[in-house]
């Protein structure tokens, strides 16, 4: 009967959209790292913690006002609610129960509660016994029992802050991975302290002049000596006591060295991960960026160019040495396999990145990276490197927006070099920026002076400019213009437009000229430097 | 015009591309390698091949470097081999044109020192290309489709013959744009240093015989200009 009622209740919960929505909301509030709500919630709790600890310190030698008591009640209720909510969102009891119920129904077995609950309850228990949850609990407990000693645990609320600061969280994670080492150390310390404490107690506990009156005094002395703090309020009086002290001092140095080395080693090992943390948080703020997969020669050239143009980018390479090189040059870099979807995702391929450059030395990997990046983001610009023509075809199929193959470029340049070395050299150097002339794209803005002006009226020769052509989206036919070259979409390129050609907003002029005259022209046209990224 | 002899050393990835681009031109192409497997591939792709050891000068001489062959491509994956080949070719035929690929910055300098006329660093060139795509997709796209692509728009170099009426004019006043569907990007002077003069600023520079006009335009317009060079009058 009860079982039926429970199952019925679970069914009601499952059917209720409000319940699952509420649970999802709470889950976002408490656990979704990317949610704004969580940030506000965290901030609220941090403020509550700081005020309540502040009040505790204040109340030591100041009268307690009634509002303070009320505030304390309020804070504690928030903490309790938070604690319960956190336990609540771990796993779904009703779903587990129903799953089990349906299985059992299907197999015509008797329905028993316990096996159904075991899994989810274990999950909850694991959460409750995790360090952060224990801290949460301890932060609440002292309010129930006004014991003097327990009041100190109110300070544990400060530890609650760990939960809300990401970097602190990373630190505790690093240290908790060294749990075994710390346990060994603690065990050793416990042994030394107890041995030394009992020894000193045996030797000096009975001497009336000695400040050691009980075992607690002995432990206190042993701990103070072991830690090399040595207050000196308790000192051994007998020969035997001093021998104990000597042994304790030597082991104290050992314990300190051991502790330091554990902590240092833990951080050393996790240095890469901590850096990754920093890189990720740096990427999260600010504008969209480029992701460069592979920091070989090609990646290095691209990175250097991006850096010089002050564009944001992040480098991924699986080779520690290459990442170290990138870091040395001041780039954001992450060690890892770019073929790892998770890594790409954490680097924001889905949202924050605008370009992915896949230039590892491995064609297979480049194809894989291209496929996964395209799957994650349709709008992403993916530039991929191919070792050969076959691979180039595969990369295009995989969704690369541009494929770059060094052998193909060598082929083109080689052929041009044989056919027309001088002309090609001239064009190539202009494009490379090795001449003082540049080829630039300038867009005609809506309110620009160029709108509705004709080629003849702008008088390019006077401006020392050479109009190569115009990219336009208007509908032209070959009857209107002799040299029309179709581009993607509705765009087409008009080579050497006739004198009577009139510019319309949205047209893009492709112009040769000196940097100075190009800038001047751009100003006159009221057009900003065409930010090609936005096109 | 006599067909030019071009020798491609090392039939690897780059060579496959270079050969396929050169195949359409009027060249006498020969692929040279010391690896029979590579030669087999080249043969099956339909190229004339020759198996010889480029380390041996007498064999290179037999090939006719500097006589029937005026340009060589050093496309071995090993920089040292390219340097060696460049030096051998340079010593056998001082006037031959040498085009080489390099893998790494240091090798570029070595190859230039060895006497290569044009050195392409394969990795860097890819990096620069990617940067162009990122930095100015529009210009890069246009050039890919027109000048370097299949479209009927080319960049061409036209040497001025001795009897051309265009001689003796300031570069800025050549004015061939008015009569032909071309744009004149500039002129490369043929004096000691091959310097490039941008057409829109060269008021003072006077054209001389042997100067090369760098023009951009459709193939028919380029051909028309080339034919009319001696009688052109704009």
Instruction: Mark yes or no for CB contact A355/B135 under 8 Å.
Output: no
Indicate whether A149 and A8 sit together in one domain: yes
| Residue A446: per-residue pLDDT | 76
Q: Residue B232 falls within a domain, yes or no?
A: no
Strand order in the sheet with B196-198: B154-159, B212-217, B183-188, B196-198
- Torsions phi, psi for A502 (to 5 deg): -105, 135
Indicate whether B40 and B102 sit together in one domain: yes
**Who wins on pLDDT, A397 or A278?**
A397
Indicate whether B76 and B163 sit together in one domain: no
Q: Name the residue facing A290 among B75, B134, B218 (closest C-beta).
A: B134
Indicate whether A190 and A252 sit together in one domain: yes
Q: Which strand (E) or helix (H) includes residue A443?
A: strand A437-443
Q: Can you tell me the ipTM of this complex?
A: 0.86
Indicate whether A306 and A260 sit together in one domain: no
**CATH code at B184?**
3.30.70.1450
Structurally, chain A folds into a number of domains equal to: 4
Residues 6+ apart with CB under 8 A from B224: B180
pLDDT at residue A474 greater than cutoff 80 = no
Indicate whether B112 and B176 sit together in one domain: no
Q: Residue B143 falls within a domain, yes or no?
A: no
Residue closest to A227 by CA, chosen among A181, A196, A202: A196
Indicate whether B95 and B186 sit together in one domain: no
| Token representation of residue A97 | 């129960």
**For residue A451, what are the domain limits?**
422-534
Q: Residue B53 falls within a domain, yes or no?
A: yes
Indicate whether A9 and A157 sit together in one domain: yes
Structurally, chain B folds into a number of domains equal to: 2
Helix/strand/coil for B198: strand
Indicate whether A159 and A184 sit together in one domain: no
Strands of chain B (E only): list them: 4-9, 27-33, 48-51, 69-74, 97-102, 118-121, 154-159, 183-188, 196-198, 212-217
Instruction: Mark yes or no for CB contact A431/B132 under 8 Å.
Output: yes
Domain's final residue, options A409, A437, A467: A409
Indicate whether A39 and A137 sit together in one domain: yes
| Residue A533: per-residue pLDDT | 41
Pairwise CA distance, residues A222 & A208, whole Å: 19
Instruction: Mark yes or no for CB contact B126/A467 under 8 Å.
Output: no
Listed in sequence order, the DSSP H helices in A377-474 are 389-398, 406-419, 421-432, 455-458
Q: Residue A442 falls within a domain, yes or no?
A: yes
Q: Residue A278 falls within a domain, yes or no?
A: no
Provide the phi-psi class of A286: left if phi over 0, else alpha when psi is between -120 and 50, else beta. left
Indicate whether A183 and A212 sit together in one domain: yes
Among all residues of chain B, which has the CA nearest to that of A436?
Answer: B198
Indicate whether B179 and B70 sit together in one domain: no
Indicate whether A443 and A387 sit together in one domain: no
pLDDT digits (tens, 9 = 90+) for A162-213: 655 666 666 777 778 888 888 998 999 999 999 999 999 999 888 888 888 8
β-bridge partners, B216: B155, B183
Instruction: Mark yes or no for CB contact A305/B131 under 8 Å.
Output: yes
Question: Which pLDDT band holds residue B167 (cuts at 50, 70, 90)?
Answer: confident
Q: Name the residue facing B131 among A301, A483, A530 (closest C-beta).
A: A301
Q: Residue A142 falls within a domain, yes or no?
A: yes
Indicate whether B38 and B120 sit together in one domain: yes
Q: Residue B233 falls within a domain, yes or no?
A: no
Residue closest to B14 by CA, chosen among B109, B111, B82, B105: B82
Indicate whether B24 and B75 sit together in one domain: yes
Indicate whether B182 and B116 sit together in one domain: no
**CATH code at A294?**
3.40.50.720
Indicate whether A149 and A202 sit together in one domain: no
The alpha carbon torsion through A505, A507, A511, A516 (nearest 10 deg) reads 30
B130 touches chain A (CB under 8 A): yes
Indicate whether A234 and A316 sit together in one domain: no
Which of A294, A305, A357, A426 to substitute to test the interface with B, most B CBs within 10 Å?
A: A426
Q: Which strand (E) or helix (H) includes residue A472?
A: strand A465-472
Q: Residue B60 falls within a domain, yes or no?
A: yes
Indicate whether A336 and A436 sit together in one domain: no
Indicate whether B18 and B58 sit together in one domain: yes
Q: Name the residue facing A418 among B13, B71, B182 (closest C-beta).
A: B71
**Ordered DSSP codes for A328-369:** HTT-EEEES-TT-HHHHHHTTTTTTEEEEEE--S-HHHHHHH
Strand order in the sheet with A465-472: A437-443, A508-514, A465-472, A492-495, A484-486
B174 touches chain A (CB under 8 A): no
**CATH code at B21?**
3.40.50.720
**For residue B104, what are the domain limits?**
4-126
Q: Residue A172 falls within a domain, yes or no?
A: no
Strands of B54-205 (E only): list them: 69-74, 97-102, 118-121, 154-159, 183-188, 196-198
Pairwise CA distance, residues A332 & A316, whole Å: 9
DSSP summary character for residue B203: S
Residues 6+ apart with CB under 8 A from B168: B206, B207, B208
**Who wins on pLDDT, A343 or A486?**
A343
pLDDT at residue A531 greater than cutoff 50 = no
| Token representation of residue A471 | 């990219």
**CATH code at A481?**
3.30.70.1450
Indicate whether A32 and A102 sit together in one domain: yes
Pairwise CA distance, residues A487 & A490, whole Å: 7
Q: If you average pLDDT over residues A393-413, what whole number do you get?
A: 89
**Who wins on pLDDT, A62 or A449?**
A62
Q: Residue B79 falls within a domain, yes or no?
A: yes
Which chain B residues are closer than 8 Å to A411 by Cβ?
14, 16-18, 20-21
Domain's final residue, options A164, A198, A220: A164
Contact predicate B205/B187, CB 8 Å: yes
Lowest mean pLDDT of A102-116, A301-315, A321-335, name the range: A102-116
Strand order in the sheet with A313-317: A332-335, A313-317, A289-293, A353-358, A381-386, A402-405
Arithmetic mean of pLDDT over chain A = 82
Contact predicate B71/B97, CB 8 Å: yes
Indicate whether B162 and B84 sit together in one domain: no
Q: Residue B174 falls within a domain, yes or no?
A: yes
**CATH code at A188?**
1.10.287.70
| Token representation of residue A278 | 């920093």
Pairwise CA distance, residues A25 & A318, whole Å: 38
pLDDT digits (tens, 9 = 90+) for A415-436: 888 877 777 888 888 877 777 7
Instruction: Mark yes or no for CB contact B126/A301 under 8 Å.
Output: yes
Q: Name the residue facing B99 among A297, A305, A417 (closest C-beta).
A: A417
Domain's final residue, options B79, B109, B126: B126
Q: Residue A132 falls within a domain, yes or no?
A: yes
Q: Residue B140 falls within a domain, yes or no?
A: no
pLDDT digits (tens, 9 = 90+) for B47-63: 998 888 888 888 888 88
Residue closest to B210 by CA, chosen among B186, B193, B191, B224: B191
Indicate whether B171 and B109 sit together in one domain: no
């Amino acid at each position: 009967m009860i079982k039926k009622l429970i199952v019925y209740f679970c069914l009601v919960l499952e059917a209720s959209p409000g319940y699952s929505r509420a649970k999802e909301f709470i889950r976002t509030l408490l656990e979704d790292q990317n949610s704004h709500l969580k940030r506000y919630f965290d901030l609220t709790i941090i403020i509550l913690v700081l005020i309540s600890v502040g009040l505790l310190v204040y109340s030591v030698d100041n009268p307690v006002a009634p509002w303070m008591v009320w505030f304390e009640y309020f804070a504690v209720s928030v903490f309790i609610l938070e604690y319960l909510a956190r336990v609540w969102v771990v796993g779904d009891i009703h779903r587990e129960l129903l799953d089990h119920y349906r299985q059992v129904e299907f197999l015509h077995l008797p329905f028993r509660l316990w096996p159904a609950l075991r899994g989810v309850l274990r999950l909850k228990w694991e959460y409750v016994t995790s360090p952060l949850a224990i801290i949460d609990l301890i932060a609440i407990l002292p309010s129930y029992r006004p014991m003097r000693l327990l009041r100190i645990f109110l300070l544990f609320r400060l530890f609650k802050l760990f939960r809300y600061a990401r970097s602190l969280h990373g630190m505790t994670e690093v240290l908790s991975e060294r749990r075994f080492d710390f346990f060994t150390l603690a065990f050793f310390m416990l042994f030394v302290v107890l041995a030394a404490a009992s020894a000193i107690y045996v030797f000096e506990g009975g001497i009336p002049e000695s400040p050691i009156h009980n075992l607690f005094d002995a432990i206190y002395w042993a701990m103070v000596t072991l830690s090399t703090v040595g207050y000196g309020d308790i000192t051994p009086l007998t020969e035997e006591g001093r021998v104990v002290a000597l042994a304790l001092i030597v082991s104290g140095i050992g314990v300190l060295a051991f502790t330091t080395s554990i902590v240092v080693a833990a951080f050393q090992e996790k240095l890469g991960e901590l850096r990754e943390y920093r890189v990720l948080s740096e990427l999260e703020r600010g504008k969209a960026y480029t992701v460069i997969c592979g920091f070989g020669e090609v990646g290095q050239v691209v990175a250097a160019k991006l850096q010089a143009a002050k564009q944001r980018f992040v480098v991924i390479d699986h080779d520690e040495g290459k990442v170290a090189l990138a870091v040395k040059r001041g780039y954001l870099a992450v060690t890892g396999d770019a073929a790892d979807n998770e890594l790409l995702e954490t680097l924001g391929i889905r949202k924050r990145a605008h370009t992915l450059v896949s230039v590892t030395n491995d064609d297979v990997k480049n194809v894989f990276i291209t496929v996964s990046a395209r799957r994650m983001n349709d709008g992403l610009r993916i530039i991929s490197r191919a070792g050969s023509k076959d691979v180039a075809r595969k990369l295009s199929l995989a969704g690369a927006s541009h494929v770059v193959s060094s052998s193909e470029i060598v082929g083109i340049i080689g052929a041009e070099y044989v056919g027309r070395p001088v002309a090609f050299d001239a064009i190539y150097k202009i494009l490379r920026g090795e001449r003082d002339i540049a080829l630039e794209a300038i867009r005609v803005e809506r309110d620009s002076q160029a709108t509705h002006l004709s080629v003849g009226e702008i008088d390019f020769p006077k401006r020392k400019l050479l109009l190569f052509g115009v990219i336009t989206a208007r509908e032209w036919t070959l009857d209107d213009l002799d040299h029309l070259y179709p581009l993607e979409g509705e765009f087409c390129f008009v080579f050497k437009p006739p004198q009577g050609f009139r510019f319309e907003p949205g047209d893009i002029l492709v112009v040769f000229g000196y940097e100075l005259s190009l800038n001047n022209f751009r100003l006159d046209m009221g057009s900003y430097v065409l930010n090609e990224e936005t096109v | 015009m006599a067909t030019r002899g071009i020798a491609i050393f090392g039939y690897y990835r780059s060579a496959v591309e270079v050969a396929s681009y050169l195949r359409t031109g009027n060249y006498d192409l020969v692929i040279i390698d010391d690896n029979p497997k590579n030669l087999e591939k080249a043969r099956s792709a339909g190229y004339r091949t020759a198996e010889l050891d480029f380390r041996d000068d007498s064999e290179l001489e037999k090939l006719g470097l500097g006589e029937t062959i005026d340009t060589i491509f050093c496309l071995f994956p090993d920089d040292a081999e390219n340097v060696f080949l460049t030096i051998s070719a340079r010593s056998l035929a001082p006037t031959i044109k040498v085009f080489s690929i390099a893998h790494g910055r240091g090798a570029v300098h070595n190859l230039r020192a060895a006497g290569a006329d044009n050195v392409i660093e394969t990795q860097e060139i890819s990096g620069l290309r990617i940067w162009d795509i990122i930095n100015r997709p529009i210009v890069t796209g246009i050039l890919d489709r027109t000048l370097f692509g299949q479209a009927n728009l080319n960049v061409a170099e036209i040497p001025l013959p001795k009897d051309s009426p265009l001689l003796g004019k300031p570069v800025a006043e050549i004015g061939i744009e008015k009569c032909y569907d071309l744009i004149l990007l500039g002129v490369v002077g043929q004096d000691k240093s091959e310097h490039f003069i941008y057409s829109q600023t060269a008021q003072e520079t006077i054209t001389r015989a042997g100067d090369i006009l760098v023009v951009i335009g459709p193939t028919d317009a380029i051909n028309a200009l080339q034919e009319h060079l001696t009688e052109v009058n704009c």
